[in-house]
Chain A
Amino acid sequence: MTSRLLLTPAVGVLLLLSGCGTIWDAPVGYSESPKLTGGELKGKTKLQKAVRAQLDKLYGPNPRDIRVFPGSGLFNGGTSLANLVKEGKKVREVKYEVVDSITGKKSIKTQHGGYSLYRRHCLHCHGVSGDGAGPTAPYLYPRPRDYRPGIFKFTSTGLNKPTRDDLRKTLLYGIAGTSMPAFDAMLSADEIDQVVEYVVFLSMRGETELGLIDIASTVDEKDAATELSDEVGLDTAKVVANKWVQASNLVVDPPIPRVIADEASVKRGRELYLGLNKTGGKVECVACHGPQAHGDGPSFVDKTVFDKVVFWEKSIDEAIDEIYEHMIFEHEGKVEAAKNPKDVPPLIAKKEFAAKVKKAWGESLDDWQNPLRPANLTLGRYKGGRRPIDLYWRIANGINGAKMPGHASAIKPEQIWDLVNFVIQLPYDPNMLENAPPPPAAAVAER
């Protein structure tokens, strides 16, 4: 009896020492781009090794050992990424001086570090490597952003990298209508800046990885050492870093101030939206956003298919089967009800229907291969921000990585403002689109 009683705690201690202990001490590693081991580089282990070696040299082998190359453009040489700095053999904490803007009082603080904040608040969705595949990511739609391709949706710089202010805004106020929360009340301004730097670091790392893979794909395996030298690695990283440095110079300011949002402007915006305007360039908002702006235009995959795949987690084939079955049922009903069954047009063949849906599905994915929907503009939910300038940027420059194209070259700035005014007014006045003519089916938005 006594021996068994003693056994229980002994087993517990053993478990703690062996099994459970490893969970906490396991090395945290970056995930790799699937292109590194698949595609062109499949089986070419020397090249793969060379790419990994360069990445480790430039950015550090794991998040606990962060390295920053000279000329990265990261704040203070990257010291806000983590709270420990290694100089030679000495490791010390990063400290900084804080000046209270009201009292002017100075104090020395030990830095939290972007990585520790990121790990606590962001990692569970965005992942260790910023690949948007953290443990809570599968539960979310829209999917959390994968930073590694270096594409960010909501920028003030068009197709370029976002500015630090753009990222800061996303962190402070979240993204409306998605699972990205607002951190304004949770983190201090200083902490937000550290997280922004860390996100930029992860994005730079991911884009450098892709750059190195591109180079590796074009060279022969026996030249791995020379073609992927330290110099090449640093150059690749610097090209990426430079894009981030340049961002602040590329902010687009609307060339003219907002057109007064009177009835006439909103009406002009409505006509532009529907493609009915007689003067100026034309845009095809209605093709994607739909005649009632519910985000159900004909240029996108049908909403029933989308819902079945995204929210009911069916495969695309299952969705097609179910919908086609329903179409047969409806068709039979029509035939039965018709006086002359021959008047009812025959049902589209299943093969043809499936091909059509699959084509539309393929065209409705974003750059991360995630299913995408045009915004329902009647809800008043603006992912990139509700300020007129935000909406101007979305319409003029488009949304990176998504299907929303930029329209700055197609229409004049005052027309863009008319559209902005219309979009802002629409949620309060959805009747504006009642009896709107259906869009021409052939219209397709293109970037």
Chain B
Amino acid sequence: MHEGLERDLGLYSAVTISMGAMIGSGIFVLPALGFKKAGPAVIVAYLLAGVVVLPAALSKAEMATAMPESGGTYLYIDRAMGPLAGTVAGLGAWFSLVFKSAFALVGLGAYLLLFAPVPGSAVTAVALGLGTLIVVLNIVGTEQSGQMQAFIVTGVVVALAGYVLSGGATLDPGRFQPFATHESGGVVTAAAFVFVSYAGVTKIASVAEEVEDPGRNLPRAMLVSMGVMMALYTFVVAVVVGINDPDTLLHGGPDDGVSLTPMADGADALFGGFGVVFISVVAVLALTSMANAGVLASSRFPLAMSRDSLLPSWLMRIDPRFKTPRAAILLTGGVLLALIAFVPVVELAKLASAFQILVFSIENLALVAFRESDVEFYQPDFTAPGYPVVQLVGVVGGFALLTQMGTVPILGAVGITLAGLVWYLVYGRQRTDRAGALNVLVQRRRSPTGEADRVRIEADRE
């Protein structure tokens, strides 16, 4: 264990952190988008997406127990596959999370309008205002909000369960017919879109250094929260489909687009007539919490990459007054606000999913690299079960989803890979001599004696 770090998150806190990172736009905003792709079979898409995320969650849990330092995804991939892959993955994970936060803020704006007397065209302005507020809060610094987070998560889960019970009694079974409106390909496409709903499960790995007994609690927290959320999502989406007129879902949004507030749309009959207000308030709470957590977590990527010399060193500077990584937060917040202001975030929601799928696939490969190279510093407390089948399923499943997403997301994934490559070549390469575990593997293959050249691997920064 690192001298001088606190471990004060127990299993319950870890589960709520993980669930808190998952609950958000995935369930409050995306069901209608998924419905457009798959019809009522969007329900199956939520399950399928969960199944494809699971391998990456397990892989990440194992790597997190071997490297319980902040940096998460970026760090594991960098140490496994070298700084080039690290740069690509770091950029991809960072951008995906920023995108997801932007999407959450736009959805948040849409729900806010349901109970506040503001014209519909103000969604972007509201989202920008809230985004600015969150960025400022993060720069000034907030105290441990773990307990607050636990309250919100518990409240939201109870509200969602209430929604399922209340809506389950009134739904119209006829709405599930025909079930699959877009053939089986539609389900896969929808799964690719709602994939991001589970991305939060790996959030817990990024606070791994603060979890008590990580070998036991990290994987349990991930599996418990995944199981709960897969069940909850499936039921909630079934109710959304069952109580809403398909037309509302497909055209209830701004400018006749898909609804951004699918959970509130059919809720007027629920909770004794207060359904719309109730669900909207819950959605606003959950989405605010998600956007805030997104800014907090994503600004750690530039920070960690900067500490490894892959980004300029001013990004890791901690502000002496507020004690926060101000530059990393400002960069993240700036991109967040620019996305909301200038980019059609809703149409491009799939980009966030695409980057996430890419990163998760690389993450599975990273685990393979660690296991096969057997580098000395890699001593995980928790060993992911089902290796290597689970990881291969994760990689193949991930790429299969990626191919179903259409041209723009594929171009996006290729684009971020190229951007990472170029940045590494012009900036990172001359500043680092790190090599990943993969390199050890390759070296060993080359020299038949099995004696690999000494390759510098940073197991630990101290």
| Same complex | no
Residue numbers of A with Cβ under 8 A of B are none
Residue numbers of B with Cβ under 8 A of A are none
